[in-house]
Amino acid sequence: MRFLSNVSGLLLATTGAQAFFVVPCSRPVVVQRADPIVNPGALAGHVHTIMGGSAFNFTMSYDDAVSSACSTCKVRQDLSNYWTPNLYYESENGKFEAVKQLGGMLVYYLQRSDSRDPEYENGLLAFPPGFQMLAGDPSLRSFGDTLEQRAISYVCLGVSGPETHQFPPQNCPYGLRVQVMFPSCWDGHNLDSPNHKSHMAYPSLVDNGVCPTSHPKRFITLFYEVTFQIDDFKDKWYKDTPPFVYSNGDPTGYGLHGDFVNGWDTDDIDTKEPLPGFENGLRAGMTTTDMVRCRSLVEQSRILVMEVLSSDTEETDDADLDGGGESDTDNDPDALSMANLGTGQSSTAWVEDDEARLSMDVVRVYENTIVQLGNRLGDTLGGKIQIGIGAEDHSRPDN
């Protein structure tokens, strides 16, 4: 099973072993405490920005992934999901504000291998159905110079200097580009592993080099680029170290990580034909309108929940006015405390202010409204969300 012969036209747009193509993802399909790899059927320990197929959900299979009606990434045949943690600015008084992403995410598929690989003659393999993996370690707060840690890097755009493995020590006028290189050497048997990483290994040079004999098979190399607009906070630095923190509580940058769930249609992969629009190495597929309108099952469920809450609010408006109680929207939607940093209770660059003000902790929303929702979620949504599973453990930052 050689890799993606259907994108051969695009690979020919570059040369030799360094050929690659890019899947541009214009916007998230959802921003949520969801991670079907590490926390299937439950809330994740922290918020992620998820790109890709609309079938993304708290629990999902390969069949679910390829059933996506749309994607926020450009290539129509790629219904995979790609995600990374959110970045926040931490103010001097301990409040948090979401940092905007610039331009969504770029997902590079790098065609790299080495003639000394144990199974070099088999070429690069397609990701098999059901395959998923994690790169990086969200618990790290220092650098140990392992292959895994060398795969995490930062580029301070607008400032000269080398890449770093932690947050750079200065403002970045044109954005902070965060980069995640995924391992490309596979054990040849497992679609996942208990830690979601050991079925994969890095080649000897991280992005190049030789695969170990324990992981002799070679996939194409995945590489994420996400750029954060930290220049918005250039006048708000109040200490010598960068005032930023990931949603997993990491203030160093060493805990950056990325997740991948395969959603490529293997029927397309094995056709030996280029993807439509890629014959000359050009990007094509999902239109901008398609990507903007695309919503995940998680987001569709949230919207249904908010509709129910809104109808309840209309019925109790008079009582609220008489009681004179403080409204949730009286508070700054962008100001978070460390206690709710992982809940997603903030506005983001991806939603309008009015919608952001309706956003709330998904645990409270689902627990308080599931009875009212009843059949409105339907078997498809309600069955996959599995409300309540693992909810008691929602504050634990596993990933």
Q: Is 132 inside any structural domain? A: yes
Q: Is 93 inside any structural domain? A: yes
Highest mean pLDDT among 26-30, 206-210, 337-341: 206-210
The confidence score (pLDDT) of residue 262 equals 97
105 pLDDT tier (thresholds 50, 70, 90): very high
Tokens matching residue 257? 């990580």
User: Is there a contact between 38 and 134 (Cβ–Cβ < 8 Å)?
Assistant: yes
Q: Is 180 inside any structural domain? A: yes
Highest mean pLDDT among 309-313, 323-327, 337-341: 309-313
77 pLDDT tier (thresholds 50, 70, 90): confident
287 pLDDT tier (thresholds 50, 70, 90): low
The values of phi and psi at residue 155, to 5°, are: -125, 125
* DSSP symbol at 157: T
The values of phi and psi at residue 361, to 5°, are: -55, 120
Q: Is 382 inside any structural domain? A: no
Q: What is the mean pLDDT of the chain?
A: 77
Q: Give the pLDDT mean for 316-323.
A: 48
Tokens matching residue 51? 């790109």
Rounded to the nearest 10 degrees, the angle between the axes of helix 297-323 and helix 378-385 is: 90
Residue of 266, 242, 246, 268 lying closest to 257 (CA atoms): 246
Q: Give the N- to C-terminal CA distance of the chain in Å, as an integer.
A: 32
The C-alpha atoms of residue 68 and residue 298 are separated, in whole angstroms, by 13
| pLDDT score of 61 more than 70 | yes
Q: Is 336 inside any structural domain? A: no
The C-alpha atoms of residue 85 and residue 399 are separated, in whole angstroms, by 9
295 pLDDT tier (thresholds 50, 70, 90): confident
Q: Give the pLDDT mean for 7-12.
A: 39
Residue 161 backbone zone (phi > 0: left; psi -120 to 50: alpha; other: beta): left
The confidence score (pLDDT) of residue 76 equals 79
Q: Give the pLDDT mean for 325-349.
A: 43
Q: Give the pLDDT mean for 238-245.
A: 96
Q: Is 366 inside any structural domain? A: no
The C-alpha atoms of residue 96 and residue 89 are separated, in whole angstroms, by 5
The C-alpha atoms of residue 83 and residue 256 are separated, in whole angstroms, by 11
Q: Give the pLDDT mean for 255-270.
A: 82
Q: Give the pLDDT mean for 28-34.
A: 93
Tokens matching residue 113? 């291998």
197 pLDDT tier (thresholds 50, 70, 90): very high
> Which residues form the domain of 205?
5-293
The confidence score (pLDDT) of residue 20 equals 84
Tokens matching residue 86? 């959110």
Strand 221-228 with 176-181, pairing: antiparallel
| pLDDT score of 131 more than 80 | yes
134 Cβ neighbours under 8 A, 6+ residues apart: 37, 38, 195, 196, 197, 257, 258, 259, 260, 399
pTM listed for this prediction: 0.74
Highest mean pLDDT among 42-46, 125-129, 213-217: 213-217
Q: Is 154 inside any structural domain? A: yes
Exposure b/e, 362-382, CB count within 10 A at least 16 = b: bbebbeebbeebeeebeeebb
* DSSP string computed for 285-315: SS-HHHHHH---HHHHHHHHHHHHHHHHHHH
Q: Give the pLDDT mean for 240-269.
A: 91
Higher pLDDT, 265 or 99: 99
The C-alpha atoms of residue 46 and residue 61 are separated, in whole angstroms, by 21
**Number of domains present in the structure of the chain:** 1
| pLDDT score of 143 more than 70 | yes
Q: Give the pLDDT mean for 198-218.
A: 98
What is the share, in percent, of the chain residues with pLDDT greater than 70? 62
Q: Is 387 inside any structural domain? A: no
| pLDDT score of 190 more than 60 | yes
The confidence score (pLDDT) of residue 10 equals 42
User: Is there a contact between 176 and 154 (Cβ–Cβ < 8 Å)?
Assistant: yes
pLDDT, tens digit, 9 for 90 and up, residues 354-397: 343 334 344 344 434 333 434 343 333 333 333 232 223 333 33
pLDDT, tens digit, 9 for 90 and up, residues 173-189: 999 999 999 999 999 99
The C-alpha atoms of residue 237 and residue 274 are separated, in whole angstroms, by 49
| pLDDT score of 103 more than 60 | yes
Residue of 75, 50, 206, 190 lying closest to 133 (CA atoms): 190
For residue 388, give Cα distances in angstroms to 32, 44, 368, 373, 383.
16, 12, 11, 15, 12
For residue 147, give Cα distances in angstroms to 83, 144, 153, 192, 309.
21, 9, 12, 20, 48
**CA dihedral for 59, 64, 70, 75, sign (positive or negative):** positive
Higher pLDDT, 147 or 285: 147
Q: Give the pLDDT mean for 109-124.
A: 94
